[in-house]
């Protein structure tokens, strides 16, 4: 084991990881551990911490999984997901933010033209420009193929975009976004195309405060006849949904790992609480029922970690890992919810107090079963693969 990260390498959950992965994680943990005051302030004020995007990039977030030839670090899926576990453990808002920006970077790296990479990807990977991704609409949630935002082709080339996207992470803070819109509603999902849209193009954002991840915004993006040139099509016309699917496994894996981070944080807090608080003249840790709660948290967290890591290894080996990533997303997200609920119980009233870390873990865990495919969508996809019949429609 490398000694480069000092005492941080003593974490037993890192025991079977490669030395270079431990170095990357150690650097990220060291940076994230210095954010305690910022977390408190941003959670209280619902503030997006734009000032830390560049340092996050510096320790490997966002550019991690991008190939070196495109300005990234060329990390493996296991390494990138492990970074997301660190983010989830420290502050789920950071996991959500970096996950979306990583998706934007991956899609640009995969399908961008050299000019698009220069204009959008390079500044994203240096933390100079922030990006968002918009597929969801009020009437197109789990059913992403129902996207109705219109991209009307213009006679001289280019497109006029009209529609409203919903729940778009950090759109009010971003400089540009990827918008999925249809060039012809009669074509169904085969008309859906990805477009790059810049703030100066004239879209409007409206923030809707939400319960979890308070240092992340959730926005409507209103596109009212926004005109973009033909050079803003990302990938091929009509291939927007397949392009989005390109990032789906990595996105699910990242959420899974972030959930394990939340679960680990719940375990850390619970161990500290039960060994320091006394009732009936004894430490809480001495009561069998309390031990069971902490043991359940630890066991579920360990199982979830193994599942996301094995899915990451499958992805890294090039084997079709769609079902594995769906299983990881389903299991890890539901585990985070269960574990955070148990951690509140371990803490008693103080765990429900605003500003207490466990209250934040509980709110943030609740997010995980909804974006990147709800738990029900994961079940339906796993069921179709296992049983050969679709129960989706």
Ligand X SMILES: Cc1cc2nc3c(=O)[nH]c(=O)nc-3n(C[C@H](O)[C@H](O)[C@H](O)COP(=O)(O)OP(=O)(O)OC[C@H]3O[C@@H](n4cnc5c(N)ncnc54)[C@H](O)[C@@H]3O)c2cc1C
Q: Rg of the chain over CA atoms, in angstroms?
A: 21
Residue 87 interacts with ligand X (CB under 6 A)? no
Contact 368, 256 (CB under 8 A): no
Binding mask 177-216 for ligand X (x = CB under 6 A): ------------------------------------x---
Give the shortest CB-340-to-ligand X separation in angstroms.
Answer: 15
Task: Let me know the angle formed at the C-alpha of 245 by 117 and 196, rounded to the nearest 5 degrees.
Answer: 35
Report the residue number, 145 or 153, with the smaller CB distance to ligand X.
145
Q: Name the 3-class secondary structure at 151.
A: strand
Of 194 and 304, which CB lies nearer to ligand X in the complex structure? 194
Select the residue interacting with ligand X from 298, 374, 382, 383 (CB under 6 A): 374
100 in contact with ligand X (CB under 6 A): yes
**Residue 376 makes contact with ligand X by CB under 6 A:** yes
Position 149 contacts ligand X (CB under 6 A): no
**Active-site choice (43, 106, 137, 372):** 372
98 binds ligand X (CB under 6 A): no
The 3-state DSSP class for residue 71 equals coil
N- to C-terminal Cα separation, the chain: 50
* Distance of alpha carbon 225 from alpha carbon 248, whole angstroms: 29
CA distances 235 to 116, 157, 181, 214, 333, Å, are 10, 16, 13, 33, 31
Nearest Cα to Cα of residue 87 among 256, 246, 217, 212? 256
d(CA 356, CA 32): 18
Residue nearest to ligand X (CB): 141
Q: Per CB under 6 A, does 141 bind ligand X? A: yes
Q: What share of the chain is helix, strand, coil (3-state, %, to 5)?
A: 60, 15, 25
Q: Whose Cβ is closer to ligand X: residue 142's or residue 291's?
A: 142
The footprint of ligand X on residues 152-181 (CB under 6 A) is 167-169
136 binds ligand X (CB under 6 A): yes
Q: Is residue 308 a contact point for ligand X (CB under 6 A)?
A: no
**372 is annotated as an active-site residue:** yes
Taking the complex as a whole, the smallest distance from the CB of residue 13 to ligand X amounts, in Å, to 26
Binding site for ligand X (CB under 6 A): 100, 133-136, 141-142, 167-169, 213, 218, 367, 370-371, 374, 376-377, 380, 392
List, by residue number, the catalytic residues: 372
């Amino acid at each position: 084991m490398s000694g480069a990260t000092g005492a941080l390498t003593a974490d037993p959950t890192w025991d079977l990881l490669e030395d270079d992965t431990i170095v990357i994680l150690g650097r990220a943990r060291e940076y994230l551990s210095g954010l305690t005051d910022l977390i408190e302030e941003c959670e209280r004020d619902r503030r997006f911490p734009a000032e830390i995007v560049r340092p996050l990039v510096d320790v490997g977030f966002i550019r991690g999984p991008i190939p070196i030839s495109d300005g990234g670090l060329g990390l493996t899926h296991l390494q990138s997901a492990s970074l997301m576990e660190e983010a989830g453990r420290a502050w789920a808002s950071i996991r959500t933010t970096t996950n979306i920006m990583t998706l934007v970077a991956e899609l640009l790296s995969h399908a961008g033209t050299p000019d698009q990479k220069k204009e959008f990807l390079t500044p994203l990977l240096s933390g100079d420009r922030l990006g968002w991704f918009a597929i969801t609409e009020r009437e197109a949630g789990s059913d992403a193929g129902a996207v109705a935002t219109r991209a009307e082709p213009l006679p001289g080339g280019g497109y006029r975009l009209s529609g409203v996207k919903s729940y778009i992470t950090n759109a009010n803070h971003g400089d540009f976004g990827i918008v999925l819109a249809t060039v012809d509603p009669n074509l169904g999902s085969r008309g859906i195309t990805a477009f790059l849209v810049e703030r100066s193009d004239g879209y409007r954002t409206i923030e809707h405060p939400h319960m979890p991840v308070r240092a992340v915004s959730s926005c409507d993006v209103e596109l009212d006849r926004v005109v973009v040139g033909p050079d803003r099509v990302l990938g091929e016309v009509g291939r927007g949904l397949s392009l989005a699917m390109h990032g789906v496994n990595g996105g699910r894996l990242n959420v899974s790992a972030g959930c394990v981070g939340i679960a680990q944080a719940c375990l850390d807090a619970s161990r500290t609480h039960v060994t320091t608080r006394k009732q009936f003249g004894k430490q809480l840790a001495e009561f069998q029922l309390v031990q069971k709660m902490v043991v359940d948290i630890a066991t579920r967290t360990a199982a979830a970690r193994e599942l996301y890591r094995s899915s990451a290894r499958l992805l890294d080996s090039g084997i079709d890992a769609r079902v594995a990533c769906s299983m990881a997303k389903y299991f890890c997200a539901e585990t985070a919810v269960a574990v955070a609920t148990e951690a509140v119980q371990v803490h008693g009233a103080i765990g429900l107090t605003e500003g207490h870390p466990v209250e934040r873990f509980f709110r943030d865990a609740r997010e995980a079963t909804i974006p990147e495919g709800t738990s029900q969508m994961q079940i339906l996809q796993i069921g179709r693969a296992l049983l050969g019949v679709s129960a989706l429609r």
